[in-house]
Amino acid sequence: MRKRYENLGGVPTTKSFADLRKWYAERRQKKKDWSYTLPCEHIQPSLLHTNTGQTLLTWIGHATFIIQINGLTIVTDPVWAKRLGTIRRLTEPALSIDDLPPVDVILISHSHYDHLHFASIKKLKGNPLILVPSGLRSSFLKRGFEHVVECNWWDTVVERDVSFTFVPAQHWSKRTLFDTNTSHWGGWVIEAKDKPTFYFAGDSGYFHGFRDIGERFHIDYALLPIGAYEPEWFMGPQHVTPEEAIQAFVDCRAKTFIPMHYGTFPLADDTPKEALDRLYAEWKRRNFPNEQLRVLKLGEIVHCETAT
């Protein structure tokens, strides 16, 4: 009997076939403007290849970031796929996978196809350590990956003086008809001495775990999802709205909020422009400092510092 994982408090996120039919019926009545595309900044790959001392963050698209810290090159949820089944990518990855430097660490948040694309991982250069949620290691081993470590919530792995802690999220997992929730889901906190701390949230609905994470870590940069929330009656338990993402930023006590998980794959009914408009409106309504919100262009390289 395969183990099935749960959210904190047993909160369910899976929906019935009837719910899915209801959503698709609603979707047919909507008229959406998908003309807005995210701005992209041309990356100089040489900087990523030669950097050894700076802490750099680059958004490739969706939940894929390149983080360079302590001489390590880290990639989160590497997805360079042009399409996910029938869903076409709205914007190209900010950097060709062939232009990446050798990768030292890969972080996987969960098994959904928009976060785990084995073909992309196979193309990455180097011999990276792959950190995955509990229940996922066997899927990597059978595809020939060897350097794979499986983590439960709050487990920490240290690689060259950089700590990676797997933290809770409210979500679910599935890749086939028969493997629902047979692997876990979560986010990652990246720490190194005298360097900024990153919280990569993966994919999550709003839950009290954001406060728990904020109590355990001193987070400088929170990479939080803001897309795939509409319709909220269907998506609510598994995806935060932009407003909930801001509350998650408050809960985890981060210094800087970097939104992600929007503008790349049209997974739900919200458009990239709608997600950003709601984010900006709520930020303004709450009168938060503009400098604490960093909405990145695709390919923009951020020189990260520890907040004082």
The CATH code of the domain that includes 188 is 3.60.15.10
Between helix 242-251 and helix 272-285 the angle, nearest 10°, is: 50
The percentage of residues in the chain with a pLDDT greater than 70, rounded to a whole number, is 99
> What pLDDT was estimated at residue 306?
76
Domain presence at residue 98: yes
Residue showing tokens 């923009």: 300
Q: How confident is the model at residue 238 (pLDDT cuts 50, 70, 90)?
A: very high
Check whether 308 has a pLDDT greater than 80.
no
Domain contains 38: no
| Full residue range of the structural domain in which residue 97 is found | 48-303
Give pLDDT, residue 43: 83
Residue 183, in any domain of the structure = yes
Question: Could you tell me if residue 105 is inside a domain?
Answer: yes
pLDDT 10s digits, 186-235? 999 999 999 999 999 999 999 999 999 999 999 999 999 999 999 999 99
Query: How far are the Cα atoms of 29, 176, 241, 243, 263 from residue 275, in angstroms, in the given order?
Result: 20, 29, 8, 9, 9
Q: Using alpha carbons, select from 199, 120, 127 the residue that is nearest to residue 159.
A: 127
pLDDT category, 131, cuts 50, 70, 90?
A: very high
Question: How much is the average pLDDT of 18-45?
Answer: 91
Domain count of the chain?
Answer: 1
Average pLDDT estimate for 43-47: 87
What is the tens place of the pLDDT at every residue in 46-104? 999 999 899 999 999 999 999 999 999 999 999 999 999 999 999 999 999 999 999 99
Inside any domain, residue 291: yes
Kindly report the backbone phi and psi dihedral angles of residue 158, in degrees, each rounded to the nearest multiple of 5, phi listed first: -110, 130
CA proximity to 278, closest of 232, 244, 235: 244
Q: What single-letter DSSP state applies at residue 261?
A: S
Q: For position 45, what pLDDT does the model report?
A: 87
* CB distance 210 to 251 below 8 Å: yes
* Residue 34 within any structural domain of the chain: no
| Close Cβ partners of 181 (under 8 Å, ≥ 6 residues apart) | 4, 5, 6, 14, 172, 173, 174
Q: Are 24 and 259 in contact (CB under 8 A)?
A: no
Determine, yes or no, domain membership for 162.
yes
What's residue 15's pLDDT? 86
Given this model, what pLDDT does residue 307 score?
A: 60
User: What mean pLDDT is reported for the chain?
Assistant: 95
Query: Does residue 120 register a pLDDT over 90?
Result: yes
> Does the residue 108 lie in any domain?
yes
The DSSP letter of residue 61 is: E
